[in-house]
């Protein structure tokens, strides 16, 4: 079996009295594509956000390459990691959100090379070469000097993917990357994600695109009420779901 990239142990997260994650255990191995499905409010986004410490776990921990993300046990107490160390961990986890949040005053290429130049201190010429290669990879070589407002939603999301790839992450986290897109633009983004998966990228993908889950996922997790209710290979989850709540959810989303 491939090496674990992310190991999640007993992860819990509460917001005030609301317990959103109730104990998640999950190992994600190199090259694996894990698709997370489940109803709205089940904790999918919170799970992704705990992985890169955008949310601090209430209990349990997330290990990235064997190292706890965002905090460290010192003398029996959890102490936050210095911002710089956290940044280094986050830099190796690319995240793509529902909203593309590109910088509007920067061209597509400038958006992609911003982090390599600012964070990795890459020389500009080298960063531009990398940026162009990544824009080509997402099918947008001809849009390098275009501003986001002149790009379609699907094109903007592909730039956002290229931007995340520019830090050469070991894992890509996607949170409903096609949910804000017009239906005719969904396919081009899913295609880029499928290409990434075929290239061996380790990916965690929260999505309502069941076709993608079935075809590209190595493993599908069904979350409900802050727990992983069921997980398995896509064929099993979609053809013979074991848990009644999985069946009920799938009967609503598959038509």
Give the range of 1-9, 12-20, 99-107, 229-237 binding ligand ADP by CB under 6 A. Answer: 12-20
Q: How far apart are CA 134 and CA 112, in angstroms?
A: 8
- Binding site partner of 103, from ligand ADP, Mg ion, none, Cβ cut-off 5-8 A by kind: none
Per CB under 6 A, does 43 bind ligand ADP?
yes
Indicate whether 42 belongs to the interface with ligand ADP (CB under 6 A): yes
Q: Indicate whether 15 belongs to the interface with ligand ADP (CB under 6 A).
A: yes
20 interacts with, out of Mg ion, ligand ADP, none, CB within 5 to 8 A per kind: ligand ADP
Alpha carbon 255 to chain centroid, angstroms: 26
**Site residues for ligand ADP, window 17-36 (CB under 6 A)?**
18, 20
Q: Is 45 in the site for ligand ADP (CB under 6 A)?
A: yes
Per CB under 6 A, which region of 43-51, 67-75, 104-112, 125-133 contacts ligand ADP?
43-51
Region 16-55 residues binding Mg ion, contact defined as CB under 5 A: 44-45
Token pair, residue 236, equals 């099993």
Nearest approach in angstroms of CB 197 to Mg ion is 21
Min dist CB 104 to Mg ion, Å, is: 24
Torsion of CA 207, 159, 33, 229, to 10 degrees: -20
Minimal distance, residue 44 CB to Mg ion, in Å? 5
Contacted entry of Mg ion, ligand ADP, none for residue 43, CB cut-off 5 to 8 Å set by kind: ligand ADP
**Which CB sits closer to ligand ADP, 44 or 245?**
44
Determine the interface stretch with ligand ADP among 14-22, 103-111, 192-200, 243-251 (rule: CB under 6 A). Answer: 14-22
- Alpha-carbon span 202 to 190, nearest angstrom: 15
- Whose tokens are 């997980």? That residue is 231
Cβ-based nearer residue to Mg ion, 159 or 223: 223
44 binds ligand ADP (CB under 6 A): yes
99, 175 Cβ separation under 8 angstroms: no
Whole-number minimum distance, CB 227 to ligand ADP, in Å? 12
| Per CB under 6 A, 150 contacts ligand ADP | no
Please give the size of the binding site for Mg ion, defined by CB under 5 A. 2
CA dihedral for 190, 112, 71, 49, sign (positive or negative): negative
Q: Which residues bind ligand ADP (CB under 6 A)?
A: 15, 18, 20, 38, 40-46
């Amino acid at each position: 079996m491939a090496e674990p990239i992310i190991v999640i142990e007993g992860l819990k997260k509460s917001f005030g009295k609301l317990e959103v994650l109730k104990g998640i255990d999950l190992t994600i191995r190199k090259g694996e594509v894990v698709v997370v499905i489940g109803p709205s409010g089940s904790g999918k986004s919170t799970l992704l956000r705990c992985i890169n410490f955008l949310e601090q776990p209430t209990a349990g921990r997330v290990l990235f390459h064997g190292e706890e993300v965002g905090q460290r046990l010192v003398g029996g107490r959890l102490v936050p990691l210095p911002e710089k160390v956290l940044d280094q961990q986050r830099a190796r986890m690319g995240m793509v959100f529902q909203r593309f949040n590109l910088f509007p005053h920067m061209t597509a290429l400038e958006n992609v090379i911003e982090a390599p130049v600012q964070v990795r201190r890459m020389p500009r010429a080298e960063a531009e070469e990398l940026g162009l290669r990544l824009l080509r990879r997402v099918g947008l070589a001809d849009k390098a000097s275009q501003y986001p407002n002149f790009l379609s939603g699907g094109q903007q999301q592909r730039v956002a993917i290229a931007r995340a790839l520019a830090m050469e992450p070991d894992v890509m986290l996607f949170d409903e990357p096609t949910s804000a897109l017009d239906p005719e633009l969904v396919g081009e983004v899913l295609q880029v994600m499928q290409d990434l998966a075929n290239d061996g990228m380790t990916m965690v993908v929260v999505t309502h695109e069941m076709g993608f889950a079935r075809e590209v996922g190595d493993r599908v997790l069904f979350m409900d009420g802050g727990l992983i209710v069921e997980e398995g290979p896509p064929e099993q989850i979609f053809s013979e779901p074991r848990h009644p709540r999985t069946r009920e959810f799938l009967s609503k989303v598959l038509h």
